[in-house]
A and B are shown apart, each in its own frame.
Chain A
């Protein structure tokens, strides 16, 4: 079975590393970007099965990344899970308006639960 390709766009080094290690150990093919700009380039080039995206990012924030990916016919159907510590209803609403599939608050989710949500989203996509 082909490994599912996940693109992680997260600038916080510790969180980035922990996510990467956990996802790899769970059998995913993981790509990573430390800022929004590289994230968009990688998504267009690699066409991952799912994007795990932070909101507060250098160069381009999560909303901009989402807008660009949703505008591009090649990337618009890629599900995007927002993984952030912003939790105001305005942020959550804005994220869904811009096309997020799921919105997760980092501190409320264990890595195990993040993986569950990824699998659930990939399951729905297929």
Chain B
């Protein structure tokens, strides 16, 4: 009777397994991957909910089997009651351990989230103050400054700008790594965002004698995304194109459609990327050898962040590049 019961359970499990999709099966396999679970949650393996559930199941099964054999050899109902109570107590103890664990994980998650928020706010406030005071000095009070003083203040200004960019990038990387990069989803006018970006980088392009050309159809279909983050991606691609293009170069920015996607591209005739390094372009902190030689400034985080933003928005980012001839970077976003 006991064996036929086990057989029935096994049959049920096999039937259930055959009925469910690969995705569901993969989810179950992932749920059973305790090491991965521990890494994701930032706790020890023996503290993961999966492990505790397994222990609870095993202990319950052992005690129930023991109860079955005891009840077969004993007619005393007290023994049965004691055994059943034991099962209930064990389930209760492990259950409460699971609840405590889940609470602890929730607390740690909340703390991590609060840390990012506080760090971001507290770092940005003094940086904004330095940025604005420097701007005031350069734009409104420069009369009293001699050439060297003005140069020093300008250096403070550009350094603080880089610092703000670095803080923003590091915070975004932290969010990506912790799977906390939350993106807004609203209708976007990519052409308008691109025009804003071009307006911002035009002085730099002019200073380097680089021609910036933008080509787009008059009416582009709407896409959805986070306007600030998509602007950041476009800024990154256009800035890279300017940074790695020699004087008198040319940059072509295009917005087109391809099937159900809007495709944005930036083409330059700059230093390009060596072929053997193509596979690492979107890696965190990666900068190609010739890029480092050409432009020492740069963290190698921009394209890593851009890739995560675009992919999380439902699109794709890719490029073609030939060393010493130039690069074309593309990203696509689904048309809504």
What residues make up the interface of A, taking CB atoms closer than 8 Å to B? Answer: 12, 14-15, 18-19, 21-22, 25, 56, 85-90, 92-93, 105-108, 110-112
Once the chains are docked, how many angstroms separate the CA of A48 from the CA of B117?
A: 32
- For this complex, 16 residue pairs linking A to B, each with C-beta atoms less than 8 Å apart, are A14-B129, A15-B129, A15-B132, A18-B133, A22-B139, A25-B140, A56-B121, A85-B120, A88-B117, A89-B226, A90-B182, A92-B228, A106-B128, A107-B124, A107-B128, A110-B135
Once the chains are docked, how many angstroms separate the CA of A19 from the CA of B226?
A: 28
The residues of A that contact B13 with a CB separation of less than 8 Å are: none
Chain B 279-312 interface mask (CB, 8 Å, partner A; 1/0): 0000000000000000000000000000000000
B121, A18: Cβ atoms closer than 8 Å: no
Q: A18-B136, A112-B139 are in contact. Are A106 and B184 (CB under 8 A)?
A: no
Once the chains are docked, how many angstroms separate the CA of A90 from the CA of B182?
A: 9
Once the chains are docked, how many angstroms separate the CA of A107 from the CA of B129?
A: 8
Q: Which of B132, B164, B226, B228 contacts A18 (CB 8 A)?
A: B132
Q: A18-B133, A21-B140, A111-B136 are in contact. Are A89 and B124 (CB under 8 A)?
A: no
Q: Which of B124, B133, B135, B226 contacts A106 (CB 8 A)?
A: B124
CB distance from A117 to the nearest CB of B (A): 11
B182, A14: Cβ atoms closer than 8 Å: no
Q: A14-B129, A56-B121, A85-B125 are in contact. Are A111 and B164 (CB under 8 A)?
A: no
Chain B 225-245 interface mask (CB, 8 Å, partner A; 1/0): 010100000000000000000
CB distance from A60 to the nearest CB of B (A): 18
A22, B128: Cβ atoms closer than 8 Å: no
A18, B129: Cβ atoms closer than 8 Å: yes
Q: A21-B136, A25-B140 are in contact. Are A107 and B164 (CB under 8 A)?
A: yes
B127 at the A interface (CB under 8 A): yes
Q: A85-B120, A85-B121 are in contact. Are A22 and B164 (CB under 8 A)?
A: no
Q: A15-B125, A85-B128 are in contact. Are A92 and B184 (CB under 8 A)?
A: yes
Q: A21-B136, A87-B120, A112-B135 are in contact. Are A93 and B184 (CB under 8 A)?
A: yes
